[in-house]
Structure 1
Amino acid sequence: MTDREDGHVKVTGAARYAADQHLDGLVYGYLITATIARGTIRRMDVPDAPGVLAVYTPFNPLELHPFAEEDNAELTPPIQSPGVRYYGQAIGLVVAETFEQARDAAALVRCEYDAEPPQACFSEGTPVAAGTSQVLAPGVGSIDEALAGAAVRITATYTSPAENHAAMEPHPTLASWNGDHVTVYTASQGVRLAVDRLSETLGIDRSKIHVINPYVGGGFGNKWDTWAHTPLTVAAARALGRPVKTVLTREQVFTVVGHRPPTRQTVTLGADSDGTLVAVKNDGVSAKAVSNGFFESAADLSMIMYGARNLHVSRSYVPLDTPVTTIMRAPGESNGSFALESALDELAGELGMDPLELRRRNDSPVNPSNGLPWSSKHLAECYDLGAERFGWSQRAEEPGTVVDGDWLVGMGMATATYGAFRDQASIKVRLLSDGRATVSGTAADLGTGQSTVFALLAAEGLGIPVTRVVPELGDSASPPAAAAGGSGSTSTNGPAVQLATSAAIAALLELATGNPASPFHGRKARFAEGEVVAEGLAMPFGRLLSSLDVPAVEATATSPRNQVKDHAFRSFGAHFCEVRVNRWTMEPRVTRWVCVADAGTIVNEKTARSQIIGGIVMGIGQALLEDLRLDAATGRFTNANLADYLVPVNADIPPMDIRFLDYPDTLLSPLGARGIGEFGIVGAAAAVANAVHNATGRRVRDLPLTPEKLLA
């Protein structure tokens, strides 16, 4: 197991994040945000203030062009009209000589609105949700007929609240122009994504935009897109002819850059008396902000998890005057698994069956929605190994019967899963005369360990210590690698690193045998363990390059996207957890956790384990703590800070036993790695909820599972 390549610079503070950058002549931006949820700005009073260089508003806008394509961020560029679509919307930008001057001046701006009552209550809009689409596969007839024929049926409705990504690093942007070219430092899960969006809205060619972002302080989805502060900062820097830096406040991070929407799912399961699923129906509803097109298709997971003969989901949404809804770790699948995996446990109760046995009986070797066989699936082994390590056989069949002093003790489990894919990626490997190698691509490392994967794979291919490999990520001038999203970074970029390493070795050997000054000239040479080798002669590549006065040789290679059409790709695993619930206060605490993952090749177990733990920690937060609360009357988030929006801390997290099966998925790529960044959160909240039910006999279907809900 290898330590994080970037671990030392991060823990010592040497890593320079986007907000750490400083340029000569730098000035500071500060957003002005709306204090109504719906309406029109009538006027903005902008008084003179010390140090202020400019105040941009809808009445004095920066020139920004409409976006060419819809994505998960806003549909329209900021401050181009006086319309207000949500509380906290960016409606202006103050630029001043210092941050404090910009902040203080923004506080002096007074707005007059023609306000309208917002439509901001998700539960009120759910009965008349819009945009319904339905999917039925592969059964015959109606889903209701299939359910009517089942020996055992359960129906329940499960809800989840809005959530915030709560990454440690607030969103920053620094922009500096040189003629008609701009350099942008910004927190992004993919620098090419930022280039594309800025090219659209600034109206300039992509080749004139250079985005740099080697370190990202967490993302979880809401650094995938380009938000209001970025084009405003870049445009302001162009207008003023000076570098401008804007960093969002924590409260602005809760409104300007998106959140996970609330969902409601009604799940109906029908089974034969032996537990074989006959039909699965999930009617899912999500909130959708009027400012963009994203909503969570939470019900979709019910189409692919278990081998029922009849499957049906519906997708609909409630349009709301709220801050933008966007992708968050395992979008759709995190919430979808809470409903489905809770319902499976409820069905097991009706059948009088062990919940683990029910899942075993319905494990499917094919994707139930389309019949394609899974490329590699060892879920049964995950169940077996996890149950053994956890001690599942000691679980009490009767809920609420295990008491340890003041604590009710329960066990729960759920299936973990997430999709896998391999897209196209290009990587450059450069062999240097000092004996080091660099590996570069536009990938991002959000704390996922991607830079360590780059270093490990290149070191393995070159046969040199990993400490001699320097990964270079987050620069749009590098070859186009995969962005960090959809759990596809390693599965996409890893094969490209391998190809580029081989190509660099080939370029080195061509130089070694073709250069008349080389001791290998005209000889048959090969490369092994960092050296060029021929009969009777071996030389490290760095020494060879130095002797030839060649600073470096390099090669760029492109790995194609996966072309396999006759298999389906997905990672699988199993969560097992123990909870203790205080029988007087009903406070739940998670006290043990085992997770076994079948995620293909594990390139570095140390960072992979960290990723699984991170997902589980977010799942525990989703289960017990996280609840972004909206005042429906005003459209304002009432807990838009890290004091009132609760996330797990060390004391909330038990010891974690994480195991990997490490079976390469060679149909996906020669590397065989599948994604794990989002895998760990899927099923985690359900495992907690199922354990709480086992401890107390009380089933809470509305996240988070707070003491007051258990006391009700």
Structure 2
Amino acid sequence: MTRTSLGAPLDRVDGRAKVTGAARYAADNNPAGLAHGYFVLSTIAKGTIRSIDAARASAAPGVLAVYSHANPLRLLPPRSYIAQFIGEPQRAMQDAVVRHYGQIVAMVVAETFEQARDAAALVTVEYDAQPPAADFLAGVPGARDPQTPFGHPVTILADGVPDIDAALAASEVTHTAVYTQPPEHHNPMEPHSAVAMWDGGKLTIHSGSQGPALHALDLAEGLGVPQEDVHVIGPYVGGGFGGKATSWSPTLLAAAAARALRRPVKVVTTREQLFTVTGHRTASHLTVTLGARRDGTLTAVKNLAVTTFEIENPASPPTAAYKCPNLDLRLKVVDLDIPRRTIMRAPGYAAGTFGLECAMDELAHELGLDPIELRMRNYATASPDKGLPYASKHLDECYRVGAERFGWSRRKAEPRSVTDGQWLVGMGMATCVLPSSQHAGAARVRFRANGTVEVACNTADLGTGAMTVLAMAGADRLGLPVGRIRPALGDSTLPVAAEGDSFMGAVGSAATSTILSAVHDAAGEAITALIAHAVSDARSPFHGMDAQDVRYSSGVLEGGGRRAGFGELLTTTGTPGVEAVTTATLGEDTERYAFITSGAHFCEVRVHRLTGEARLSRVTCVVDAGTIVNGKTARGQIAGGVVMSAGQALLEGAYVEPATGRIANANFADYLVPVNADIPAVDVHFLDHPDTRYNPQGARGLGELTGTGVAAAIANAIYNATGTRVRDLPITPDKLLS
């Protein structure tokens, strides 16, 4: 493999293992003596368990144990802040209280999966049921204030303006509308699964996780053991989208059952179970009010978001998107008896940009302005809430380049102006925006005697290409071919940042920027350690030289007329390896500048005039994300985000029965996700302007970016095609025909 630099469209280093089936995911592990667990789920949404009869299940062939609150696997409550708020504050089967439909009320463990599943059907549960609060829209008027910092209101008022309503009253034009969307579910290709085994008091568990160290902390807290006694292994993760950022009951119960039975236990959730035993994206209800002058300049934005999850705040996008002197952004929360909510790709911003970007499109239509022109008249060069200048922002170029590539000039502003037979054709656009984030990450770089370098980091690869980025980061910093780098991740024993900072992982679109900074620093220190070894070891050809006189370049040490590759040096000195572990801290520029990743989406949609079927026919995305580390995997992230957001716009949504709290479409037959036939070719273009104030390589995260704006661009295109404005996702044929 030839040497590459950052930005090359490199094939995934783990690609062959994945396409040949050599990659081992969590459930692919089958240690000797393996038992299998299967869950019994509640059939009510609120109440208590009156009794559980497990006699027939216990007597069924192959059954080893049946656990419930009456025969519990004791689990301790979570202590970490993250686990409490984005995970499950109540552990499964610790009491008789039923908090939502589909809650785990019993677990059968048997010799085979089939035996466990069949025995689970024999467990009889009787309940004392109560009417659940399960109707989100009915709860919106009585929504409460949030209790976490994530939901704090943002109020910014110009001098002399008493409140946001006064600013709106003084505006020449106002627009108000309500934008809603139902709950969404992650539905990764790999369901939540775990294979747990104990050796004395130490747990080894194969489990796909977005953050192995946080996963180990969650398990340690739940099981009452030291974190260092929990070893999480998950180098391959079949999708997460936020749903595997923290630990859920299936993993904890697999570990607890394995300890109780003193043998390995595997748990793999079924597709239907996945809808209720793990978290989902909250439903949202946004009331967006824009105030503007007649020339389109924004004077006030009032945004009230209501959700069922106070960590996800759809009111927040105006703090990043546009310049406006008066902002009032608030979150309210509805408490429901439904399964837990958690983070999902672009939390807050996915729903928030749908509302904001649709409102901007509606305002542009009312004022007779091109939607791009309206956005440019409100272009922000500084963060509206922090007042800090953006270190690097080229969203204006995204608009210009995207419009040229897409052919925006051919758009007809008047709805229903373009037809193709029975199809109405429309164009729409929207801004995508996401604040940039990175962690103080740790990495280990180890020169090895066989001429390879291990580059290790405590993060995960959910299919995003993180393993390839890790290899490229090491190759670029060390001047080596990628083929000589051995990346390692997905293991809780790998280096993590400062004590207590166990959340470092594939979250918040921060993995790439964190990896780059950590590997950059660790590689520099590893080179220093290699040179120190070269001049201090008596067997080295550089022995006795001043370290300053020895230079490292592309895997070779030179100095004093002597030259040796690091593999040759380590072999000569009989040393297996030389390494350095470093934690990269965030630079001072993070306090002086605001950082943002942004872009522009352009969509063409065709709507059948008789059936109301909407088809996405063309998509162009232009993205400003700093340095693009790997053009191939980065394009996959953007295109994948378009696919996911097309589902948000046109197909996806969980239907919760108001009277029962049951998710009526908890299966892949009724919960629709996009397939190949739904998605056209996606034109992706990167500006590739390095943001070196952000990190030495100038790269910002982009994995969640196209979780924002796409749904609005599609909705705006549908309005342009049909003249019908749909503000309630998904946009299904019935809404276009009504």
Q: Name the CA distance, whole Å, in 1 between partners of 2:477 and 2:617.
A: 42
Match of residue 93 from structure 1: 107
Match of residue 268 from structure 1: 289
Give 1:13's match in structure 2, choosing from 6, 21, 37: 21
Match of residue 57 from structure 1: 68
* 1:6/1:451 contact within 8 Å kept: yes
Q: Which secondary structure does the structure 2 equivalent of 1:460 belong to? A: helix
Match of residue 104 from structure 1: 118
Deviation at 1:431, TM superposition (A): 1.3
Q: Name the CA distance, whole Å, in 2 between partners of 1:561 and 1:324.
A: 33
Say yes or no: does 1:282 pair with 2:318.
no
Say yes or no: does 1:150 pair with 2:171.
yes
Q: Name the CA distance, whole Å, in 1 between partners of 2:225 and 2:726.
A: 53
Match of residue 50 from structure 2: 42
* 1:366/1:372 contact within 8 Å kept: yes
Match of residue 416 from structure 2: 400
* 2:455/2:471 contact within 8 Å kept: yes
Say yes or no: does 1:115 pair with 2:129.
yes
Q: Name the CA distance, whole Å, in 1 between partners of 2:480 and 2:694.
A: 27
Say yes or no: does 1:514 pair with 2:514.
no
Give 1:29's match in structure 2, choosing from 33, 37, 43: 37
Q: Name the CA distance, whole Å, in 2 between partners of 1:53 and 1:250.
A: 24
The one-letter code of the counterpart of 1:579 is: V
Match of residue 157 from structure 2: 138
Q: Name the CA distance, whole Å, in 2 between partners of 1:672 and 1:33.
A: 48
Q: Name the CA distance, whole Å, in 1 between partners of 2:79 and 2:508.
A: 23
* 2:467/2:487 contact within 8 Å kept: yes
Match of residue 390 from structure 2: 374
Say yes or no: does 1:204 pair with 2:230.
no
Match of residue 542 from structure 1: 567
The one-letter code of the counterpart of 2:559 is: A
Give 1:176's match in structure 2, choosing from 191, 197, 202: 197
Deviation at 1:561, TM superposition (A): 3.0
* 2:301/2:328 contact within 8 Å kept: yes
The one-letter code of the counterpart of 1:581 is: V
* 2:320/2:433 contact within 8 Å kept: no
The one-letter code of the counterpart of 1:617 is: V
Within 5 Å, which residues of 2 pair with 1:158-557? 158-288=179-309, 294-480=310-496, 482-523=504-545, 524-557=549-582
* 2:306/2:334 contact within 8 Å kept: yes
Give the structure-1-normalised TM-score. Answer: 0.98
Match of residue 673 from structure 1: 699
* 2:320/2:434 contact within 8 Å kept: no
The one-letter code of the counterpart of 1:68 is: R
- What are the Cα deviations for residues 410-440 of structure 1, in whole angstroms up to 9, with x where unaligned? 1110001111122211101111111111111
Q: Name the CA distance, whole Å, in 2 between partners of 1:397 and 1:113.
A: 58
Percentage identity across paired residues of the two chains = 53
Q: Which secondary structure does the structure 2 equivalent of 1:95 belong to? A: strand
Q: Name the CA distance, whole Å, in 1 between partners of 2:89 and 2:573.
A: 55
* Shift in CA distance, 138/668, structure 1 to aligned 2, threshold 3 Å: farther
The one-letter code of the counterpart of 2:635 is: R
The one-letter code of the counterpart of 1:675 is: G
- What are the Cα deviations for residues 624-667 of structure 1, in whole angstroms up to 9, with x where unaligned? 00011111111111111112111111111111111111112222
* 1:62/1:236 contact within 8 Å kept: yes
Q: Name the CA distance, whole Å, in 2 between partners of 1:534 and 1:78.
A: 63
Q: Name the CA distance, whole Å, in 2 between partners of 1:124 and 1:387.
A: 41
Give 1:690's match in structure 2, choosing from 716, 719, 733: 716
Q: Name the CA distance, whole Å, in 2 between partners of 1:61 and 1:516.
A: 62
Q: Name the CA distance, whole Å, in 2 between partners of 1:409 and 1:604.
A: 35
The one-letter code of the counterpart of 1:86 is: H
Q: Name the CA distance, whole Å, in 1 between partners of 2:132 and 2:329.
A: 30
Q: Name the CA distance, whole Å, in 1 between partners of 2:385 and 2:201.
A: 51
* 1:65/1:202 contact within 8 Å kept: yes
Q: Which secondary structure does the structure 1 equivalent of 2:218 belong to? A: helix
* 1:387/1:576 contact within 8 Å kept: yes
Q: Which secondary structure does the structure 1 equivalent of 2:648 belong to? A: helix
Count of aligned residue pairs for this structure pair:
707
Q: Which secondary structure does the structure 1 equivalent of 2:118 belong to? A: helix
- What are the Cα deviations for residues 509-553 of structure 1, in whole angstroms up to 9, with x where unaligned? 222222222222234321112211235443222122222222211
Q: Name the CA distance, whole Å, in 2 between partners of 1:420 and 1:617.
A: 22
Q: Name the CA distance, whole Å, in 2 between partners of 1:675 and 1:487.
A: 5
Deviation at 1:295, TM superposition (A): 4.9
Deviation at 1:349, TM superposition (A): 0.8
* 1:572/1:598 contact within 8 Å kept: yes
Q: Name the CA distance, whole Å, in 1 between partners of 2:386 and 2:510.
A: 22
Q: Name the CA distance, whole Å, in 2 between partners of 1:155 and 1:71.
A: 32
Deviation at 1:71, TM superposition (A): 2.5
- What are the Cα deviations for residues 226-284 of structure 1, in whole angstroms up to 9, with x where unaligned? 11111211111111111111111111111100111111111111111111001111111
Deviation at 1:498, TM superposition (A): 1.1
When structure 1 is superposed on structure 2, of 661-670 and 692-701 the one drifting more is 661-670
Q: Name the CA distance, whole Å, in 1 between partners of 2:457 and 2:311.
A: 31
Q: Name the CA distance, whole Å, in 2 between partners of 1:303 and 1:512.
A: 53
Deviation at 1:213, TM superposition (A): 0.8
> Which consecutive residues of structure 2, in runs of 5 or more, have no partner in the other structure?
1-8, 147-151, 498-503
The one-letter code of the counterpart of 2:350 is: S
Say yes or no: does 1:650 pair with 2:672.
no
Match of residue 80 from structure 1: 94
* 1:424/1:492 contact within 8 Å kept: yes
* 1:422/1:562 contact within 8 Å kept: no
* 1:586/1:711 contact within 8 Å kept: yes
Match of residue 605 from structure 2: 579
Q: Name the CA distance, whole Å, in 2 between partners of 1:30 and 1:382.
A: 50
Q: Which secondary structure does the structure 2 equivalent of 1:131 belong to? A: coil
Q: Name the CA distance, whole Å, in 2 between partners of 1:295 and 1:625.
A: 25
Q: Which secondary structure does the structure 2 equivalent of 1:299 belong to? A: coil
- What are the Cα deviations for residues 155-205 of structure 1, in whole angstroms up to 9, with x where unaligned? 111101111111000100111111111111111100111111112111111
When structure 1 is superposed on structure 2, of 523-532 and 198-207 the one drifting more is 523-532
Q: Name the CA distance, whole Å, in 2 between partners of 1:329 and 1:19.
A: 24
When structure 1 is superposed on structure 2, of 161-170 and 458-467 the one drifting more is 458-467
Q: Name the CA distance, whole Å, in 2 between partners of 1:364 and 1:514.
A: 56
Deviation at 1:302, TM superposition (A): 2.3
Deviation at 1:397, TM superposition (A): 1.3
Q: Which secondary structure does the structure 1 equivalent of 2:568 belong to? A: helix
Deviation at 1:96, TM superposition (A): 0.8
Q: Name the CA distance, whole Å, in 2 between partners of 1:543 and 1:303.
A: 55
Give 1:4's match in structure 2, choosing from 3, 7, 12: 12
Q: Which secondary structure does the structure 2 equivalent of 1:616 belong to? A: helix
Deviation at 1:562, TM superposition (A): 4.2
Q: Name the CA distance, whole Å, in 2 between partners of 1:464 and 1:684.
A: 39
Q: Name the CA distance, whole Å, in 2 between partners of 1:471 and 1:134.
A: 43
Q: Which secondary structure does the structure 2 equivalent of 1:494 belong to? A: helix
The one-letter code of the counterpart of 1:492 is: T
Q: Name the CA distance, whole Å, in 2 between partners of 1:562 and 1:90.
A: 45
* 1:193/1:225 contact within 8 Å kept: yes
Q: Name the CA distance, whole Å, in 1 between partners of 2:153 and 2:516.
A: 37
When structure 1 is superposed on structure 2, of 513-522 and 432-441 the one drifting more is 513-522
Q: Name the CA distance, whole Å, in 2 between partners of 1:550 and 1:566.
A: 45
Match of residue 5 from structure 2: none
Give the structure-2-normalised TM-score. Answer: 0.94
* 2:86/2:311 contact within 8 Å kept: no
Q: Name the CA distance, whole Å, in 2 between partners of 1:315 and 1:660.
A: 34
Deviation at 1:463, TM superposition (A): 1.5
Q: Name the CA distance, whole Å, in 2 between partners of 1:210 and 1:275.
A: 57
Give 1:619's match in structure 2, choosing from 642, 645, 668: 645
